[in-house]
Structure 1
Amino acid sequence: MRFAFVLTSAALIGSAFVTSATAQDTGESLYMDACASCHGAAGMGAGPLAEYMTADVPNLTQLSQRNDGVFPMLDVIQTIDGRTGIRGHGSEMPVWGRQFKAETIDDAGIYGSEVYARGKILSLAYYLESIQED
């Protein structure tokens, strides 16, 4: 059962990332569900919960500007994931890697749930890349 779920999940995730446009659509949906409450629907750091944070909520549309015009993909992935020691906003940023992995660990097992989590994180990163200001 787990093996079949892992194969099916990997195939679905792989097919979902055939184009970055598809990943961006998936990422936008994930962003609205997981990130917009703090970062705002437009990603400018003005979500409804931002005023309750003890740390500043960054404007996610200016990540490239703050990185000499280059989108810092690896840093973004590691910050969203949160399991690698890079923590966004001090300790207020949720550890999404752990959360996403927990969503399927019972059905997919340790490896399948890791594929699932990484797919979600990559989709979010592609979406953030797509909303960068010039």
Structure 2
Amino acid sequence: MTHLPVLVLGTALAVALGTTAPAQDAESGAVLFLDHCATCHGVAAEGDGPMTAILSVQPPDLTQLARAEGGTFPLERVVRRIDGRDEVLAHGGPMPVFGMILGTESGLIDAFDGTPVFTTQAVVDIAAWLQTVQK
């Protein structure tokens, strides 16, 4: 994660200069999810992707994240899992880390307590799409 300090510094500088981070784009997130996540998590994010047959640890149904949290979508946790800051075990090892692969444009979300969480815009967009598919 050698690029994370640069990402954080760049986003912090943009905020300090009065510019705002791009808004979440769930449509872009849906495309990114299909390209990078659906192989394991399935097209509808229900944990039924074509790779599940060879994984020793099955991917979770991502449409149930809010339900598991009492109706609140765990946005910060989702972002941290996608960009690799929180380790997730899959197929006997860590989930592929997409944080640096998924674009270089800075993204920003607010944690549950209002603390800013810096990541890439692509990760923010995927999380935004996942929030729209909650059951």
Give structure 1 regions of 4+ aligned residues with deviation exceeding 4 angstroms.
none
1:24 and 1:98 map into 2 onto residues whose CA distance is 19
Indicate which of 58, 70, 73 corresponds to 1:56. Answer: 58
Normalized per residue, which structure has more strand?
Answer: 2
The normalised TM-score by structure 1 is 0.70
Provide the residue aligned with 1:87 in structure 2. 87
Structure 2 residue identity aligned to 1:88: V
Normalized per residue, which structure has more helix?
Answer: 1
1:125 and 1:31 map into 2 onto residues whose CA distance is 9
CA contact (8 A) 2:81 2:88 kept: yes
2:37 and 2:28 map into 1 onto residues whose CA distance is 13
1:114 and 1:25 map into 2 onto residues whose CA distance is 17
1:88 and 1:124 map into 2 onto residues whose CA distance is 17
Per the TM alignment, residue 56 of structure 1 is displaced from its structure 2 partner at its CA by 1.7
Per the TM alignment, residue 100 of structure 1 is displaced from its structure 2 partner at its CA by 2.5
Query: Structure 1: which 5+ residue stretches go unaligned?
Result: 1-5, 102-112
2:126 and 2:51 map into 1 onto residues whose CA distance is 20
Provide the residue aligned with 1:34 in structure 2. 36
1:55 and 1:33 map into 2 onto residues whose CA distance is 21
Aligned Cα root-mean-square deviation (Å)? 2.2
Indicate which of 66, 69, 80 corresponds to 2:68. Answer: 66
Per the TM alignment, residue 114 of structure 1 is displaced from its structure 2 partner at its CA by 5.7
Per the TM alignment, residue 55 of structure 1 is displaced from its structure 2 partner at its CA by 1.0
2:31 and 2:89 map into 1 onto residues whose CA distance is 22
2:89 and 2:61 map into 1 onto residues whose CA distance is 12
- How many aligned positions are there? 105
Structure 2 residue identity aligned to 1:123: D
1:114 and 1:81 map into 2 onto residues whose CA distance is 13
